[in-house]
Amino acid sequence: MEIQKLNLFRGISQEEIEDMLRCASTSRKKYKEGEYLFRVHDKPVFMFVILSGRAIVARDFSSGRQDIILEVAEGDVLGENFFDPDNKEYWYDAIAGSDTEVLMLPFSFFYGFCGNACKKHQELIKNMLEIFSVRNSELSKKAHILSCNNLRERIALWLLDNCNESGKVVLNMNREQLSSYLGVTRPSLSRELMKMQDDGLIKADKGWIKIINGEKLENYI
């Protein structure tokens, strides 16, 4: 993705962005699928902007279980909730969900204003606040999903929140990752999806789920 198209730099000219990136001493880095961008207990130094690919925010446990918190898509930012200098370490892992390239912005750049970048720096901070708002909304949606009484309710709410205009949800996460996100085991998720398909609510395939009866699906939430 071209940097000037990122929400973080909305309203800032290409020339101003280039000046800003030089001032911030930014860097780019590529990760292979499955590689960690950072781990729990690492010291927060950078905010990551996903230029291509995607990242999974998760927490690994000693039992081998992985709790997926959210997915960060191309164009989104990662690690922004550690913007507070009092945060001494990450409390989650960030894993490349595919081959991924990121732009790394030092947090220190956001704390001060350079002498020749005041106006564009203020625009950047405004964009950051909007990004914070969107991310808080995403986390609130997950909290809502996990508060549902049963698995069918969770799946129904997730599908209705993520489908496109034709009622189709393209699966960027595999079944194991989706089951972790929904807080259930993979066999439980697979069984419920099959039941929902038998009930005429959805049609599920390897890479997508299509809502067949949206009105009936809404009755479960």
The pair of structure tokens assigned to 78 is: 């990662």
What's the pLDDT at 147? 86
Question: Does residue 120 sit in helix, strand or coil?
Answer: helix
Cα–Cα distance measured from residue 16 to residue 9, given in angstroms and rounded to the nearest whole number: 10
Q: List, for residues 1-22, the tens digit of each pLDDT value.
A: 778 788 888 888 888 888 888 8
* More confidently predicted of 65 and 157: 157
Residues 6+ positions from 85 with CB-CB distance below 8 Å: 107, 111
Write the pLDDT tens digit of every residue in 179-205: 988 989 999 999 999 999 999 999 998
Torsion sign across C-alpha atoms 182, 186, 192, 195:
positive
> Which residue did the predictor score with more confidence, 106 or 112?
106
Read off the pLDDT of each residue in 78-96 and give the average, rounded to a whole number: 78
Which tokens is 137 given? 């909304």
Element (H, E) at 197: helix 186-198
- Give residue 114's pLDDT: 56
pLDDT digits (tens, 9 = 90+) for 16-53: 888 888 878 889 999 999 999 999 889 888 889 999 99
